[in-house]
Amino acid sequence: MDSEERRKVEQEFGKLLDVFPQRMSIWAADGQRLYANDTLLEFLGITQQEFLADDYRKRVFHPDDLGRVEATLAQAISRGERWEMEARVRGKDGKYRWVLIRVRPVRDEKGIITRWYGAGADIEDRKTAKRAEMALHLSNDALTVYKQLVESSMDGILAFDKEGRYTIWNGGMEKIFGFRDEERLGKHASELCPFFKLVDGTNCYSAALSGNGIIASDVPYVFPDSGIEIFLEGRFSPLRNCDGDVIGGLATIRDVTESKKSADALRRSEAYLAEAQALSHTGSYAYSVAGQILYLSEEAHRTFGFDPGRGTVTYEQVQSRVHPEDVHIFEACSREVIREKKGASSDFRLLLPSVSEAIGLSRSMCA
């Protein structure tokens, strides 16, 4: 086939390309662009002359993809290999769409490349669907982790909608109240929850639905069947959608019965100790290795001549009440306790503001 015949064939082929729905183009053996069919020009919103211009690729390919496109094209031409790739191409509306580009070489009877034919297929919808699928997959993974966290929590976790109906009731709530989630979901909070109306009039559910967080401590609850009383701590917060609107509430509920009993027992013990010390005129105090007073009982306050209601007393202030001639005894006893890590005792005199002289017995114990 001579050059004139080849030119005529290419002209006829160019006319044929214009009726194809695919976006197609023809390039010379060295990669120079020769022709783009009407479908491609219509999508890009350019003329044939603009397709042939030097800045064509820079104008149509996404800046993040341009370098990759040019590198792939140069490598394919140097090796004489077909190639394909995905890249973002700007349409006449100014928006970029993902396109699958496929380019194949055409060879003559001697195997020499004479032309390159390229075709582009719009894959934006496929890319969008894939992104949506990935987002859904990630969302499902996050939801699985969330469910596992909620169900494995040692604390009770609940959620409720704007009408106050339970939407989440985890295993921790079942452990506290003895009701499974299927017995509570969809039920109104007022049917079972001491936090619905507190003694001071605060409604934790209403507070959360109003957009406020609230903590309620040591809230009593009596089981109607057994009459057993427990104490609960609830932390309520609003649940918001992506726009920031309150659509419900979340809460963690913890059974604090044992800790409350321990705290009450400790307060009773402290009260009994204070009473016993007052009756026996025996005070106690604790100090750190650095010489900082950590604790000074009420009776110790009175013994050293301090007002228990006037704040913290320092080690130096306690030492100032020791008779000057006995300070070395007081200090030696304190050092011995720290050094030997065991109890020690000593006798020393006190000088109080309202008394000229008094005798005190200090028994210092290591802690």
How far apart CA 71 and CA 204 sit, in angstroms, is 63
Residue 225: its pLDDT value, please? Answer: 83
What count of Cα atoms within 13 Å lies in the side-chain half-sphere of residue 135?
Answer: 6
- Among 93, 128, 163, the domain-final residue is 128
**73 plus 170 within the same structural domain:** no
**E strands, 61-95, in order:** 83-90
Query: Where in the sequence is the domain holding 185, given as residue range(s)?
Result: 153-255
Residue 365: its pLDDT value, please? Answer: 46
**109 plus 23 within the same structural domain:** yes
For residue 325, what is the DSSP state?
Answer: G
Residue 316: its pLDDT value, please? Answer: 86
pTM score = 0.43
- Give me the residues of the chain with pLDDT under 70, please: 1-21, 135-147, 190-194, 196-201, 270-281, 354-367
Residue 176: its pLDDT value, please? Answer: 86
How far apart CA 335 and CA 346 sit, in angstroms, is 12
CA 130 → CA 124, 141, 142, 297, distances in Å?
A: 10, 16, 18, 71
Residue 326: its pLDDT value, please? Answer: 86
Residue 367: its pLDDT value, please? Answer: 43
Residue 366: its pLDDT value, please? Answer: 43
Residue 133 lies in a domain: no
For residue 61, what is the DSSP state?
Answer: B
How far apart CA 274 and CA 269 sit, in angstroms, is 8
Residue 113: its pLDDT value, please? Answer: 92
The answer to whether residues 212 and 238 touch, using CB atoms and an 8 Å cutoff, is yes
**177 plus 62 within the same structural domain:** no
Question: Hey, how many other C-beta atoms are within 10 angstroms of the C-beta on 188?
Answer: 15
**7 plus 122 within the same structural domain:** yes
CATH number of 215's domain? 3.30.450.20
Residue 308: its pLDDT value, please? Answer: 81
